[in-house]
Amino acid sequence: MQKTTWKLDPMHSEVLFKVKHLMITTVTGHFKTFDLNVETEGDDFTKASKISFTADIDSISTNNEQRDAHLKSADFFDAASHAQLTFEGKSLKQKGDDYVLEGDLTIRGTTQPVSLNVEYGGIVVDPYGQTKAGFTVNGKISRKEFGLTWSAVTEAGQVVVSDEIKIHAEIQLVKQA
């Protein structure tokens, strides 16, 4: 079977994260700069030999400069020492109508196994003749498992930032000739 290379279409992709603030509201952030490269057998993503994702920590945006600076600091991602987070996919297995992506996520120099739920949108040829594949990815991680242990408690005893981080990505890949 022929090896197929897929590259990220950044104009039609996004990577978001959500975290509870004071346990009463959710703050959403995203990465402005990220990349994904995939190698498959033909067009079969379950036979991927490479799924490699990176996100630049300095590109974090929560629409609040002060909070973004705090996230990039040593309290959280430590962008000065760890410029990127990475995900290396190990397998994509069908589960009902959807898929489960297993891989290793590295944040701040700590690597943990992660399972992500993947909805496969299909493959289409766009108006410019490019073959594209679409995916919706969802998952949850514990930030403390990656060394993001900064914590604060209000006078009333409320946790300021939850441990659980929800991940959501809309990914469009372009098949390379």
The DSSP secondary structure of 140-173, one letter per residue, reads EEEGGGGT-----B-TT--BSEEEEEEEEEEEEE
So what's the pLDDT on residue 153?
Answer: 64
- Under 8 Å CB-to-CB from 98, ≥6 apart: which residues? 117, 118, 119, 120
| pLDDT at residue 122 is higher than 70 | yes
| pLDDT at residue 22 is higher than 80 | no
Confidence of residue 159 (pLDDT cuts 50, 70, 90): low
CA atoms within 13 A on the CB side of 155: 0
| pLDDT at residue 120 is higher than 70 | yes
Confidence of residue 157 (pLDDT cuts 50, 70, 90): low
| pLDDT at residue 162 is higher than 90 | no
> ∠ at Cα 118 (47, 20), nearest 5°?
145
Mean pLDDT score, 39-53: 95
Confidence of residue 10 (pLDDT cuts 50, 70, 90): very high
Confidence of residue 160 (pLDDT cuts 50, 70, 90): low
- How far apart are alpha carbons 103 and 72 in whole angstroms? 24
Mean pLDDT score, 143-148: 90
State which H helix or E strand residue 70 sits in.
helix 65-72
Q: In the predicted model, what is the mean pLDDT of the chain?
A: 93
Q: What is the pTM of this model?
A: 0.92
All domains in the chain, ordered by first residue? 3-175 (2.40.128.110)
- How far apart are alpha carbons 147 and 128 in whole angstroms? 44
So what's the pLDDT on residue 24?
Answer: 76
